[in-house]
Amino acid sequence: MKRFFDFILFGNIYVALGAVSLIQSTCIQLQISSHLFYYCLFVFFSTLFIYNLQRIFYKKAEDNSYNSVRRQWIFKNQRTIKLLTLLGFAGAGVFFFFNDYKILFYLSPLFVLSLAYFIPAIKLRKSAFLKLFTLALVWVITTAVVPALLNISVIDYKFVLHTLTRFCFILSICIPFDIRDIAIDTAENVSTLPNKYGETITRNIALFFTVIYGVLIGSEYYFTIISFPVLVGLLISMVATFLFILFASSKRSEYYYVAGIDGTMILQGLILMLISMK
């Protein structure tokens, strides 16, 4: 059972499901009736491809975190990682043709940005602020902006407010991962918020964005973008996110981050899907 659990988590199937969950969350919040089935499949396989592709660039000889259960699994399962990368590439290639071709225009720059994030010659992740901005930008555009653009003709305040809300949520769950990796990043001379300001300040920054996220959720309800049941569902997931971040530290297990904090994306989507079924 643990082997299967590790495969789902460290093979990036779990985070790909998180991407799909956030797309469904956007569909429910913005009342997009189609639920973008084929776009969800395209994003699922694209996430699987990108996240596993970067794992191929990991080098054990240069890595200072071999005791990390996540990286240990990656080093021992390179064949699986490569197969998942191929599966992701093939799936994204197939389901691209089931979507509006406008996604090529919307997502191509994000693909280049994602490659620049980890390719050794560029490796944007070496900069604390570029790392966070890149991650947030890619996730927000993929899970919130593009689903909206595929279904609306006019960009209005509802679109902008929803985008800002998703941006704060993504930032709040991205920042704690730098706390998890503080020892690794220090050893590899990677500049991150915890290395600059310490764990406590970094955690407080993440909590600040979580609170702002909650305020923006309330604003979405105030401007009648979301219904009261959706508001309650989002606030429940926000509280869960807040608690996960509150207790985050470099001493926590990697499962806490990969299953727990990444799991807040799935939690948000599941809660809203359950509410929308009533």
- Could you tell me the pLDDT band of residue 61, with boundaries at 50, 70 and 90? very low
The whole-angstrom separation of Cα 86 and Cα 89 is: 5
The whole-angstrom separation of Cα 23 and Cα 31 is: 12
Which pLDDT belongs to residue 59? 65
Q: Is it the case that residue 72 has pLDDT exceeding 70? A: yes
pTM of the model: 0.94
DSSP result, 59-79: -GGG-S-TT-HHHHHHHHTHH
- Per-residue model confidence as pLDDT tens digits over 234-247: 999 999 999 999 99
- What token pair was written down for 183? 């020892």
The whole-angstrom separation of Cα 116 and Cα 271 is: 34
Q: Is it the case that residue 157 has pLDDT exceeding 90? A: no
Mean pLDDT of 24-45: 94
Residue type at 162 in one-letter notation: H
